[in-house]
A and B are shown apart, each in its own frame.
Chain A
Amino acid sequence: MTRIRRFTQAAFLLIFLWLFLQTESKGANELGYPVKVFLDADPLIFITTALSTRQLDFPLLLALIVILATVLLGRVFCGWVCPLGTLHNLAGTLKKRRPSAKPLNAYRWKYYILIFLLVSSVFTLQPAGVMDPIALLIRSLSLAVYPMVQYATVSVFNTLYTWQLPLVTDGSEWVYGILKKGFLSFQQPFFNQAAFTGLVFLGILALNLRERRFWCKYLCPLGALLGLLSRYALLNRSVSEGCDGCGVCVETCQGSAGPDRKDQWIKAECLACLNCDDACPKNAVRFGFSAKAPDASLDLGRRRVIGSAMAGLIAVPALRITPLRKAGAADPQLIRPPGSREEREFLRRCVKCGECMKVCITNGLQPALLEADLEGIWSPVLVPRIGYCEYRCTLCGQVCPTGAIQKLSLEEKAKVKIGLAMIDKGRCLPFAHGMSCIVCEEVCPTPKKAIWFEEVRVRDRGGPERILKQPHVDLELCIGCGICETKCPVLGRPAITVTSIGESRSRDNQLLLS
């Protein structure tokens, strides 16, 4: 059975990674692959988003299938499917087998975390994505791991390229060409907080050195949710008379199910990995379908349950007493992707999975740190100096699993304003220095350009008078895509900048009368 399970895990991990690699534009308007399918199948994201938004307007079929599978078979998702779980298995192989270390047995922790998340989502907060394993994994891969792999790989091939050795460089360029087609990203991704996100991920993997699958046993809120759902699962474990209590099964158990305790086996902690069945020297363990099963009750302790529920409740006002929630006081750099819902609604939905940042064609979507305060940590912000919003690209809305960024048609996209550009006359070459420059106008993508010129007579130091074009922003036409800021040749602080004012999604954050 172990072999079948490992094969299944490997298959799901590979599908997951392959879809991750496909979360990148090839130049068409659509990606062509269901890249967010793992997020769609995630019951924790499904339930918390349904609670926080009181809506069911996002894909839910797959999540329902996972819920159904769990109700019938127990935590098979954790043991057989979850790509983060499989990575934990792999990381766990680095741990020395030392029977001396006592397991922490803190499996209750994750239920407290889950209660916190569920209660806060009832009161419209959506913090689940911070710890949801699928969101966490995609975010970590997108922002840190994949950019690192890319950087390292490209560096090696660039070095071989600069050496220009006969045969060696030809060979390396050939391999590089293949990698560029199927594995590497089109351009090096750069992300704010890359190292921080990567270290958090590394830390979570390193927990396996303390105890294998530490995260799954003690911390994962999705695991806790699936644990609760599996309480009445039909797949049950029975131990026959042959058991002599040798305890081999305890060491192979991937969860905290206490397989040596026979009838006191904790079903909610069983990942259905079937290791205990395989390992039992007496062949006394059997998994089979039965309606009723021995089960140790899951005693979480009333005080602690109330405590975590209270924490979830308190978190809501605690995270929202920030002046950033006032229009006008909000960070002007908080430019949300096109199709984003109004900020409150946006934060109720965004699960910080990083899909939009992974897919952003210009790398302009970056993870927020405190631009939207703690509630919006790791949510997407457009940073035009890094990359602009491509006029005819709608990919971020296509990959958002919860509709925080709505899917737009090309016609709708053309109308959505994400902010407005304004010119800094103190730095703009034609204004401040009498020099000719038209880059912002040239790159402005709206059919009738949102940047127009005024022809003025200028005289620079000692020179004759001449005619110069000075740019102005048409605030009605500007959509805030930021390409002018990205391409402005005044490096450092650009002479034209976009802020969120005028964004279509906000009623208050407006400038113009109409």
Chain B
Amino acid sequence: MNRRDFMKSALITGAAIGMPAGLDPILTALQAAQGPDLAVVRGTPPARITRAAVDALGGMRRFVSRGDVVVVKPNIGWDRTPEYAANTNPEVVAAVVRLCLEAGAKRVKVFDHPVSDARRTYRQSGIADAAGAAGAVVSFVDDRKFKDMRINGLTLKTWPLYTEAIETDKVINVPIAKTHGIARLTLGMKNWMGVMGGWRGRIHQRIDESLVDLAMFIKPALTILDAVRILTASGPQGGDLADVKLLNTVVAGTDAVAVDAFGATLFGIKPADLGCVRVGHQARLGSMDLAGMNIRRIAL
């Protein structure tokens, strides 16, 4: 973060804290100066649209500085091959890794704490091979590196989280858009379950608040939602190609709530109907007000 960035964000943060609710437009205008709020790129191949989306936001250098250690967190949760849209598209992940390295990142780490067996998910998803070839350090989760962290959120007070995901210079969230039994959809915020240790299944009891707590604690520099293929039913694991819809789309933005809000619309769901988006908006993690946003749409 250089001095100018610091001044700018200090100003925005200061404004956000001290500002009465009616002054939202000023804040929005200030942010707009930094580029669009969201970039939505449609086309092929996945690597190209990923790159175009990041470029539309001002390029990866805006988010990654020379010498940074960057964690790129895809969804590698399930033992499924890419066409089933249960894990993040490997080409999208590889493209993000390349962008980080080009921006001068010292090291890019890729990992997830999967639900199915990690050896199979890493391999069958194609992510281990693709991210490795792109130059990332792909590793399995090491149980010793979970540490109880004070989240102090709405629901989660302390929980064991993966230190490598927290103690790093930058984090980039690269989720895939899928349906989910209780959260309705799993998008960006839901992807943070992949850095949780312990019996994380328990968070389903208050899923929306828990997800917002996690997203607030982790603070990714950027969220890149893979909607190349989306899973429209039987998520989050899928298994039937009839449930997969080809959208050839990538959504990128710095506002985690906005990205998920836009993601909801891909399924024909109103942002406010998605619990974590609504709670995230109320908790001021971000905005779900898509109408008031500067959304840059590109077709390639």
Size bracket, chain A contacts: 20 to 34
Taking a contact as CB atoms closer than 8 A, the residue among A392, A438, A488 that contacts B79 in the complex is: A392
Digitize A324-367: 1 where CB-to-B-CB distance is under 8 Å, 0 elsewhere.
Answer: 00000000000000000000000000000000000001100000
CA distance A448 to B140 in the complex (A): 29
Digitize B218-231: 1 where CB-to-A-CB distance is under 8 Å, 0 elsewhere.
Answer: 00000000000000
Q: Which residue of A lies closest to B84 (CB)?
A: A447
Q: A393-B117, A429-B205 are in contact. Are A161 and B236 (CB under 8 A)?
A: no
B residues within 8 A CB of A448?
Answer: 234, 240
Q: Which residue of A lies closest to B121 (CB)?
A: A27
Contact at B204–A25, with CB atoms within 8 Å?
A: no
Q: Which residue of A lies closest to B243 (CB)?
A: A447
Asked whether any CB of chain A lies closer than 8 Å to the CB of B14, the reply is no
Contact at A435–B120, with CB atoms within 8 Å?
A: no
A residues within 8 A CB of B237?
Answer: 442-445
Q: How far is the CB of B70 from chain A (nearest CB, A)?
A: 21
A residues within 8 A CB of B32?
Answer: none
Contact at A449–B144, with CB atoms within 8 Å?
A: no
CA distance A225 to B120 in the complex (A): 42
CA distance A288 to B251 in the complex (A): 79
Contact at A437–B120, with CB atoms within 8 Å?
A: no
B residues within 8 A CB of A362?
Answer: 117
Asked whether any CB of chain A lies closer than 8 Å to the CB of B180, the reply is yes
CA distance A391 to B78 in the complex (A): 10
Taking a contact as CB atoms closer than 8 A, the residue among B122, B128, B144, B180 that contacts A158 in the complex is: B144
Asked whether any CB of chain A lies closer than 8 Å to the CB of B25, the reply is no
Contact at B119–A439, with CB atoms within 8 Å?
A: no
Asked whether any CB of chain A lies closer than 8 Å to the CB of B115, the reply is yes
Residue in A362, A391, A429, A444 whose Cβ sees the most chain B Cβ within 10 Å? A391
Contact at A487–B115, with CB atoms within 8 Å?
A: yes
B residues within 8 A CB of A393?
Answer: 79, 117, 120
CA distance A453 to B181 in the complex (A): 9
Q: Which residue of B lies closest to A387 (CB)?
A: B117
CA distance A391 to B116 in the complex (A): 9
Contact at B123–A442, with CB atoms within 8 Å?
A: no
Asked whether any CB of chain A lies closer than 8 Å to the CB of B201, the reply is yes
CA distance A443 to B234 in the complex (A): 10
Contact at A437–B124, with CB atoms within 8 Å?
A: no
8 Å CB interface, B37-90 against A:
79-80
Q: Which residue of B lies closest to A471 (CB)?
A: B181
Asked whether any CB of chain A lies closer than 8 Å to the CB of B6, the reply is no
Asked whether any CB of chain A lies closer than 8 Å to the CB of B238, the reply is yes
Q: Which residue of A lies closest to B183 (CB)?
A: A438
Contact at B181–A469, with CB atoms within 8 Å?
A: yes
8 Å CB interface, A418-455 against B:
429, 435-439, 441-449, 453
CA distance A158 to B121 in the complex (A): 26
Q: How far is the CB of A361 from chain B (nearest CB, A)?
A: 5
CA distance A442 to B181 in the complex (A): 6
Contact at A445–B181, with CB atoms within 8 Å?
A: no
CA distance A442 to B202 in the complex (A): 13
Q: Which residue of B lies closest to A488 (CB)?
A: B201
Q: A392-B79, A441-B181, A442-B181 are in contact. Are A489 and B236 (CB under 8 A)?
A: no
Known: A186-B119, A393-B120, A445-B237. 5 other contacts (CB 8 A): A25-B120, A27-B128, A158-B144, A390-B79, A392-B120
CB pairs A–B below 8 angstroms (6 shown): A27-B124, A391-B79, A442-B115, A442-B204, A488-B201, A489-B204
The 4 A-B pairs of least Cβ separation, nearest first, read A27-B123, A447-B239, A447-B240, A27-B119
